[in-house]
Structure 1
Amino acid sequence: MNPPALAHLSDCYIKPQHTIEEASRPYYLSAWDLVMLSMHYIQKGLLFTKPPPEEDFKVVDFLEKLKHSLSLTLVHFYPLAGRLATSKADDPDSSYVVYVDCNNSPGARFIHAAIDMTMADILTPTYVPLVVQSFFDHDRSLNHDGHVKSLLSVQVTELIDGIFVGCSMNHCLGDGASFWHFLNTWSEIFQAQGGNNNFSVSRRPVMESWFPEGYGPILSLPYTHPDQFLARYEAPPLKERMFHFSSESIAKLKAKANAESNTDKISSFQSLSALVWRCITRARHLPHDQTTNCRMAANNRSRLNPPLSPEYFGNCVQGVRAGFTTAGELLDHNLGWAAWMLHQGVADQDEKRVREWLDWWLKAHFIYQLGPMFDPDHSVMIGSSPRFNKYGIEFGLGKAVALRSGYANKFSGKVSAYPGHEGGGSVDLEICLPPEIMAALESDKEFMDAVSL
């Protein structure tokens, strides 16, 4: 039976509560920002329990408070209210530059929607229902589409007994750290606004884009038309499932990986990632000599010298190819062997490596594309992070019941890591695989023995 249709009830745009001088100038994008032009928006959201009738909760009042606090938040994160713009010289053979125009825009989009479903309809099925993708705006949009679409879009979807707040943010504006920094700040302002429009946030974002010495801003891309670097990737039919790993289960994996490698340096997350890489590779039944790799998202803020602020707003992340081997070699060795390879890959991501990538990009000016970049048939990409404060976002509704994401940036072998709802070092992994490979993973004893129910 098909799920009920989503109804859009209202749609408006939100601008910053007041303008600041910085917003009058072009907001130039860094190398790590520009490389994202052909990727999807970030789409993450939180499911909250709707307050009971006796609390006299009125959705209309809640929405107005959300809008007001969003306008205050956008004062600090002002580029999110802008649009992308391209400045190109008259010479048709010359290159052009993409930047953010913070003035020529109606603002961030805000949508109120409703659907005749319960939270149980979303949370009970083994696999994440496809209807969840409709809880996000900008479905399948590329970041380059931010020339004509809002750079930030919030969709508040009412369920019968719940409220889903889905946020779509242009990935050229920021990475996961920046995305959750924005949402945490918005929640903080929502909780404390009380009519005080001058509320001082606890983690003020650093909005000045970072460039290597002598290279900023980047005013020249070697293209004459976006068709030269844009590619719209359509994923095959995928099953998407949330797997929970308790802190106790992860501690066992870490102890096993370190014992097998005769070390104490392998982290909990590297141990868990090695398990996922090995088990997905086994589920795929790849030829013995087929190459496979595991990429892990690495935050470069602390890897630069001097380091960037943790509050730096923008992209400062790289998908590090932490492990590279053949399917046969990966499965012939134990968990510790794979985990040590991932540990070394992450440890090698130092300032020298970061600078080498930047030098390479400044010469080649390439743009990431989903299919060619990630080798979705043979490899694994582990993104997001369980370290981000995702359950601290409340909007006056208490702690969220669950995290979910949209269609964006998904392919076979894409894994997103979230903190477990109970905290304490637990982790939820959102794994996307074709149906037959997902079924094989669910029958994998090594993997399912580590999963916590």
Structure 2
Amino acid sequence: MDGTGNRAIVLNDAGARYVEATADAELSSSVVLELTTGANLLSLYPPSCDGAKELLLAQVTRFRCGSIIVGVSVHHRVADGHAIWAFLFAWGQATRGVRIDDSIPVQQRHDRLSLFAPRDPPQVKFDHRGNEFKPHVGDASGGNGAAHAGDEVVIHRVHFSKEWIMELKSQSQAAASEGAAATARPYTTTLQCVAAHLWRCITAARGLDGNQTTRMRIAVNGRSRMKDPRVPVGYTGNAVLWAWPTTTARELGRQHIRETVELISREVARIDDAYFRSFIDFAGSGAVEKEQLVPTADSLELTLSPNVEVDSLLGIPFYDMDFGGARPFFFVPGYSTVPVDGFIYVLQSFEGDGSVDAYVPLFSTTIEAFKRCCYSLQPTAS
């Protein structure tokens, strides 16, 4: 806390924690599969159980075959995906001894106070309780749905080819040009189309009751939405909020993909500059502390069922990073301790050909039904 009682990050030039490790194994496909969950995955990151105070923890693990894995841990309050990519890309260029790319600003901006200062008086125009904040309920955790006793969450990587993505977009466009929807603009954003498809498929695979309400928590980047002042290119921090499209399992299953994309698009569009400013005012109004509210993003959750969360890394070209041994070929999304059922990451494939990878964690009793429908444009669990 600073002198006014607000949370603060102390920049004291103490540096970051950097660990070098070795693994007496070759990074084969079988080893990669073993590194996707549990203790094997956590071994790729610096230990933080000793109450680490550094803002950044990094570990480089060298394998017998010459491959390396770079594991980076950073709190989401400190940096979002864009900020992490800028750091990793610049690190790779420095490793190779080349000039830092002009697209990576050398002069970073850390000043949150001037960029995100609450207005006086506050202008809270939206309800942020239930979206960004929720009541504190003690030590209760476990998500919105019941955990599956004795079942584990496994991560399935879905690879959507460029051609499949084009067909998915075509399906949305074709429907939008028919009948009463002829005046609607075509919704062809890759993220929104993929998110809509995965939401429908996961809901079908879970076998939810038709009357069950299901929500998608989808990340919205404020870097391009906030206007006055704009977020500078070199801002090193977090500028992400979420949209919450909501429907029922029955409606989600029987509506066309175009309708699901439209639902997502409407909710994402609602998270504009006015919403971000309202959030800043609410967060700085004292209501969070007075009502003992906590963030809705609970790192202790095991399952999001009946809901899903989609975090997009599509705008981040991770495959362009190079630490001296060519482009990466392997990616594992980071979770605090174990994968969270329904917490999806979507990113550009490292093949660099316009294809997309989605990392989908689900309980093992659900994953087989998901696999049977994830490449179908009309997903059902059968």
In structure 2, how many angstroms separate the alpha carbons of the residues matched to 1:230 and 1:122? 41
1:207 aligns with 2:110: yes
- 1:248, CA displacement in angstroms? 1.1
Pairing partner for 2:359 from 386, 411, 430: 430
Q: Which residue of 1 aligns with 2:242?
A: 319
Q: Which moved more, 1:343-352 or 1:371-380?
A: 371-380
Partners of 2:164 and 2:175 lie apart in 1 by 17
- Which runs of 5 or more structure 2 residues have no equivalent in the other structure? 121-135, 178-184
1:259 maps onto 2:174 in alignment: yes
SS at match of 1:318: strand
% identical equivalent positions: 25
Structure 2 letter corresponding to 1:97: N
Match of 1:112 among 17, 20, 39: 20
Q: CA deviation at 1:102?
A: 2.1
Shift in Å, 1:200:
8.4
Partner SS for 1:405: coil
Q: 1:430 to 1:381 in 2, by over 3 A?
A: same
The change in CA–CA distance for 1:183 and 1:124 in structure 2 (over 3 A counts) is closer
Could you say what secondary structure the match of 1:301 adopts?
A: coil
- For the 8 Å contact 2:318–2:350, the answer to whether it is kept is no
Partners of 1:396 and 1:356 in 2: how far apart? 44
Q: Is the 8 A contact 1:135 1:406 kept in 2?
A: no
In the TM superposition, what is the alpha-carbon distance from 1:369 to its structure 2 partner? Answer: 4.7
- Does residue 1:300 correspond to 2:202, yes or no? no
Shift of 1:448: 8.7
User: Partner amino acid for 2:281?
Assistant: D
Equivalent residues of 1:297, 1:320 under 8 A apart: yes
Q: How does 1:108-187 map to 2 (within 5 A)?
A: 108-122=16-30, 125=33, 128-130=36-38, 131-138=40-47, 148-161=52-65, 162-187=67-92
Q: Select 2:161's aligned residue among 232, 241, 246.
A: 246
**2:172·2:187 contact (CA, 8 Å) conserved in 1?**
no
Q: Does residue 1:100 correspond to 2:4, yes or no?
A: no
3-state DSSP class of the match of 2:219? strand
Mapping of 1:4-403 within 5 angstroms? 86-87=1-2, 96-103=5-12, 106-122=14-30, 125=33, 128-130=36-38, 131-138=40-47, 148-161=52-65, 162-192=67-97, 202-204=104-106, 205-209=108-112, 210-212=115-117, 214=119, 237-262=152-177, 263-306=185-228, 307-321=230-244, 323-363=245-285, 364-365=287-288, 366-371=293-298, 376-403=304-331
Residue 309 of structure 1 and its aligned partner are, at CA, apart by 2.1
Return the letter of the residue paired with 1:319.
W
CA contact (8 A) 2:242 2:271 kept: no
Write the letter of the residue equivalent to 2:200: R
How far 1:362 sits from its partner (Å)?
A: 2.5
1:296-338 Cα offsets, whole Å, 9 max, x none, are 11111111123212332111001211x2001111101121111
Change (3 A) 1:303 1:362: same
Secondary structure of the 2:311 match is strand
Cα distance in 1 for partners of 2:70, 2:138 equals: 29
Distance 1:254-1:441 versus aligned 2 partners, 3 A rule = same
Which residue type is aligned with residue 252 of structure 1? E
How has the CA–CA distance of structure 1 residues 373 and 360 changed in structure 2, closer, same or farther, with 3 Å as cutoff? farther
Give unmatched runs, 5+ long, in structure 1.
1-85, 89-94, 216-227
CA distance in 1, matches of 2:160, 2:34: 16
Can you list the C-alpha shifts for 1:355-381, whole angstroms capped at 9, x where unaligned?
222233233334315449987111110
Q: Distance in 1 between matches of 2:31 and 2:376?
A: 22
Q: CA RMSD for the aligned pairs? A: 3.2
The whole-number CA distance in structure 2 between the counterparts of 1:431 and 1:368 is 23
Match for 1:424: what amino acid?
D
**Alignment TM-score, normalising by the size of structure 1:** 0.67
> Which amino acid counterpart does residue 215 of structure 2 have in structure 1?
N
**Do the aligned residues in 2 keep the contact of 1:379 with 1:413 (CA within 8 Å)?**
yes
Which residue type is aligned with residue 211 of structure 2? D
- Three-state SS of the structure 2 residue aligned to 1:240 is strand
Change (3 A) 1:404 1:336: same
The question of whether the paired residues in 2 share the 8 Å contact of 1:184 and 1:389 is answered with no
Answer yes or no: is the 8 Å Cα contact 1:138–1:168 preserved in 2.
no
**Cα contact 2:191–2:312 (8 A) shared by 1:** no
Amino acid at match of 2:53: K
- The residue identity in structure 1 corresponding to 2:354 is G
Deviation at 1:127, TM superposition (A): 8.8
Counterparts of 1:356 and 1:406, CA distance in 2: 30
Provide the aligned length of Structure 1 versus Structure 2.
Answer: 338
* Worse-superposed segment, 274-283 or 299-308: 299-308
1:96 and 1:212 map into 2 onto residues whose CA distance is 15
1 CA distance for matches of 2:7 and 2:89? 28
Whole-angstrom distance in 2 between the partners of 1:200 and 1:446: 39
Give 1:441's aligned amino acid.
F
Partner Cα distance (1:386, 1:168) in 2 = 20
Tell me if structure 2 keeps the 8 A contact 1:238–1:433.
yes
Partners of 1:189 and 1:117 lie apart in 2 by: 28
